[in-house]
Amino acid sequence: MSIKDNLKTDLITAMKAKEQAKVDCIRFVNAAIKKVEIDTRKDLDDAAVTGILMNLAKQRRDSIDQFRKGGREDLATKEESELKLIQGYLPTQMSASELEALVVAAIAETGAKGMKDMGGVMKAVMAKAAGKAEGGAISEAVKKKLAAV
C-alpha cells in the first residue's frame, strides 16, 4: 500500500474516531502533496512523497526549537505530536553505524581525499539514503569522516 493510500485510510479512521488534531495534520500533509502534484503536473510516487514528508518533518523540528526558545511550550508540544505522526509515514531511519558505513563506502567509491570532495560524497550518500536519514545527520557524518581522511 502506498503512502498516499495509508494517509487516505488513516484520515478516514481519524475522522470516525473524532481525533481532530490527527485529522488536521493528515489534511495538511495531503495538501502539501497535492500542491506538488499540481505544480509538477504529475502523480507522485512513494519516493517523492517521502521527500515531502522529510521536508515537513524538518519544518516541525525547526518550529519546535523556535517555539521552545520563545517560551511557547504549548505550541512546541503540538508540533511534536505532528512530527510523530509525520515520522510514522517515513521509512525507518538509519542508525548512526549504518550511516557511517554508507559514508565510508561513498568516500571509497568517489575517491574523496578531503573536504573539497564533500559535494560528491554527499550526492552519493543522499542517493543511497533517500528518506532513511536526515540531511543534517548525513552532512555531519560526511564532515567527520572527510576530516579524518
Low-confidence ranges of the chain (pLDDT < 50): none
Domain 3-87 fold: Hypothetical Protein Yqey; Chain: A; domain1 (1.10.1510)
Q: Output the pLDDT for position 25.
A: 95
Contacts of 146 (CB under 8 A, 6+ apart): 107, 112, 114, 115, 117, 118, 121
Nearest to 103 by CA among 123, 87, 74: 123
d(CA 61, CA 79): 8
Segments of the chain assigned to CATH 1.10.1510.10: 3-87
Q: Output the pLDDT for position 114.
A: 80
Q: What is the pTM of this model?
A: 0.80
Q: Output the pLDDT for position 38.
A: 96
Helices (H), the chain: 3-16, 20-40, 46-69, 73-87, 96-110, 118-128, 135-148
Whole-angstrom CA distances from 81 to 28, 116, 134 are 14, 39, 19
Q: Output the pLDDT for position 126.
A: 87
- Secondary structure letter of residue 22 according to DSSP: H
Q: Output the pLDDT for position 16.
A: 97
Q: Output the pLDDT for position 24.
A: 96
Q: Output the pLDDT for position 82.
A: 95
Q: Output the pLDDT for position 9.
A: 96
| CATH number for the domain running over 96-148 | 1.10.10.410
Burial 117-134 (b: 16+ CB within 10 A, else e): bbeebbebbeeebebbbb
Residue at 64: amino acid letter: I
